[in-house]
Amino acid sequence: MLVLVLARTLGPRGWMDLPSRRKAHGNPVPRIGGLALLLALLVARATGGLHLGLSFLEWSVVAGMGVLGVMDDRFNLRARWKALAGLLVAIPLATAHTLELLRSGRDVTLFGFDIPDHGFVFFPLLMLWYWGIPQAFNLIDGLNGLSLGFSCLLLGALSLGPGALLGAGSAPLWGALIALLLLNYPKARHFMGDAGSLALGCLFAILVMDRALPVHRGLGLWLMAYPILDVTTVVAIRKYCGRPLGQADRSHLHHWLLERFGGRAWLVTPVLLGLAALPMTRDLPWPHARTISLLGFGALVLLATRVFIDKAILNPSSAFVPRKEPRHAFLNEPSGTHQQAS
């Protein structure tokens, strides 16, 4: 209901994603799904219906990332300023969690190696995590249902994991994600926009760190394997081809699969989500869960390698897209979610 109300009230007032040469949707689509999600979560938290165990600071950072996304959805902020603002928002959270880790004496690993127990090591890693994961959510949010579906997978992994990492208090989050997913896939009645992708990315970066780290010291990398590998691939392709990191292109994993599947976005989304779900089984109480997670991670690595070879070495022009329209035409060129043309 909130999505429909916002679509009718805000959509015609600058919150509409219009078709352009880089997008496949033929009709204008309201870009208000993320704003609806952010408002719903904050109201559920204020009324006591949502219990995720987050502190006031953590909720403030999630809200801050969401507000940054709202500004970008409405005014199409420059990529470098949006990245800098996201970094500034992540600083207090990284600082607080660095102090918590030092006080707890908890061991942390990265790719199987123990990380030195020192603030000068924890702080930059946490900064990278709390800045990078929201940006990664924003970057994978390029097909209908992809970011929302991945969020549902994460929530399921955190709910099913050992120790009941998330309980009944996450029900409002489940409801919001499923409702938005049904309105976004396979046909989009709304787009999430940066408000949704940045807020969800920040929320799950915190939940994974708070809930998964005590259970498995390296579980966060298995849960976030898909967005981490996707962003790594994109950065590697752009650096190899000498393109600016902030310049949009078609070098994501979903772009490559979209080309191979003949533009059938409705099919690419479940295929990618299926691959993304496999590494998440790492600590689930299932037979052969670790083997499944390892095979899934390997499949994602092979896919990322193939995309790099095709987009950076064999056919680099296939990743190129024309530059955006002039910035005064921001209604035609939002930086939030959309299904790009194949």
User: What would the pLDDT profile of 4-22 be if each residue is shown by its tens digit?
Assistant: 666 566 656 656 666 555 5
Rounded to whole angstroms, how far apart are CA atoms 68 and 342? 29
User: What would the pLDDT profile of 151-162 be if each residue is shown by its tens digit?
Assistant: 999 998 888 765
Rounded to whole angstroms, how far apart are CA atoms 205 and 138? 13
Q: Which DSSP letter does residue 318 get?
A: G
Average of per-residue pLDDT across 209-234: 83
Rounded to whole angstroms, how far apart are CA atoms 281 and 291? 9
pLDDT for residue 169 = 79
The length of the chain is: 342
Would you say 68 and 82 are in contact if contact means Cβ atoms under 8 Å apart?
A: yes
Average of per-residue pLDDT across 241-262: 89
Q: Which of 295, 186, 304 is nearest to 256 (CA)?
A: 304
pLDDT for residue 216 = 63
User: What would the pLDDT profile of 18-29 be if each residue is shown by its tens digit?
Assistant: 655 555 555 677
pTM, two decimals, is 0.87
User: What would the pLDDT profile of 36-63 be if each residue is shown by its tens digit?
Assistant: 899 999 999 999 889 888 999 999 999 9
Q: Is the peptide bond before 28 cis (omega within 30 degrees of 0)?
A: no
Q: Which DSSP letter does residue 283 get?
A: G
User: What would the pLDDT profile of 99-118 be if each residue is shown by its tens digit?
Assistant: 988 887 776 766 566 777 77
**Residues forming a β-bridge with 342:** none
329: confidence class by pLDDT, cuts 50, 70, 90: very low
Give phi and psi for 5, each to the nearest 5.
Answer: -65, -45
Q: Is the peptide bond before 186 cis (omega within 30 degrees of 0)?
A: yes
Rounded to whole angstroms, how far apart are CA atoms 14 and 27? 15
333: confidence class by pLDDT, cuts 50, 70, 90: very low
Average of per-residue pLDDT across 250-275: 94
User: What would the pLDDT profile of 124-152 be if each residue is shown by its tens digit?
Assistant: 989 999 999 999 999 999 899 999 999 99
pLDDT at 300 over 90: yes
Average of per-residue pLDDT across 213-225: 77
pLDDT for residue 306 = 97
pLDDT for residue 10 = 65
Q: Which of 145, 29, 15, 148 is nearest to 72 (CA)?
A: 15
Average of per-residue pLDDT across 316-341: 49
